[in-house]
Amino acid sequence: MSLAYVLLSIIWFALIAYAAFGGADYGAGLWDLVARGDTAAKQRELIDSSLGPVWETNHVWLVFLVVGLFSAFPVPFSIICIVLFIPLVVALIGVVLRGSAFVFRTHGLRGKNALIWTQVFSASSVLTPFFLGLSAAAVASGRIRVPPGSTVQTDLGSIWLTPFTIAIGCMAVSLCATLASVYLTVEASNSKDHDLAEMYRRRSLITGAVTAVLGALGLGLSTIYAPLLWQGMLARALPLVIATMLIGLATAATLYFRYYRIARALVVGEVAFLLGSWGVSQIPYLIPPDITVDQGAGSPSTLFLLLIGVCVGMVIILPSIYLLLYLVKLRTGMGFFQKGE
């Protein structure tokens, strides 16, 4: 395996981590948006207490993704930024607004201003994963063309605004909502708030089903709008796709029987297999069908030094993140096989 593939595998791991943990943060914003009724205040309190200690930590993976892709694959990075300038800028604005709104809402003045920041937080939590998912689908679709000896050409939206990309963007939002509802089910169960746990359990089952439907729709549309991805899936990633479906069914079953902590582990596995199946389907292309992983990689000396830096950084970052999660999360819910009540 070349250095380019080693670094790409590490970057893909960071993508999975950001999707599994940062995605839950976005999903929590969606549930904050629809919090209504007598339990609305309790719902928002649970969301704030769940996000407060760890939400900023998830941006470590986003920063690593951007810096790693720019350093290891500079040409594909520049092409993606040119072609997907509009959706990526919208997503970036959403990240900034979401983080700012969460801080101002949580630690600022109460009253009318708090309501405004709540609305900004919730709206940006929906828009950001939608445009990130849409951008990922645009890359996978094979519609970004860079003929040899020419420059990339683009327009306002024909490449990234298709039924396939819109379906995947919606699936990204639904998947984030599923992640958040599963995590919040565990948090509510740990807090002995069985009413909230039951509510988020039902929401997990509903959004999980919606995610499955949108995923099936995306697969169907890929035969038309992303044929290379479809062919790669059939040739190389079909076992991963089947495993993703089975893990999704297992997640639903554990939620139904109220084994919440197993469901939390399974939904993370579902995200990992989903993104893994995308990556394997796209091999050997980084931007199909014109730029392969080796063609888009930087110089060997740059890749080697970057790999050393990444290894040193991971030795520091991974134990630190685990310690943070243990201190504020894991030690309150260590009973993995405990059944929810």
Q: pTM value? A: 0.92
Query: What is the Cα–Cα distance from 282 to 276, expressed in whole angstroms?
Result: 10
Q: What is the pLDDT of residue 226?
A: 95
Q: Torsion angle, CA of 236/238/239/245, rounded to 10 degrees?
A: 150
Q: In the prediction, which pLDDT does 328 show?
A: 73
Grouping H, G, I as helix, E, B as strand and the rest as coil, residue 188 is helix
pLDDT at 133: 97
Which residues of the chain have a pLDDT value below 50?
334-338, 341
Torsion of CA 325, 327, 329, 334, to 10 degrees: 110
> 233: buried, middle or exposed (CB in 10 Å: 19+, 13-18, 0-12)?
buried
**Nearest 5°: phi and psi at 54?**
-130, -5
Give me the pLDDT at residue 163, please: 97
* Per-residue pLDDT, 123: 92
Choose among 327, 248, 262, 273: nearest CA to 19: 273
| 164-179 tens-digit pLDDT | 999 999 999 999 999 9
Q: What is the pLDDT of residue 227?
A: 95
Res 341: pLDDT: 46
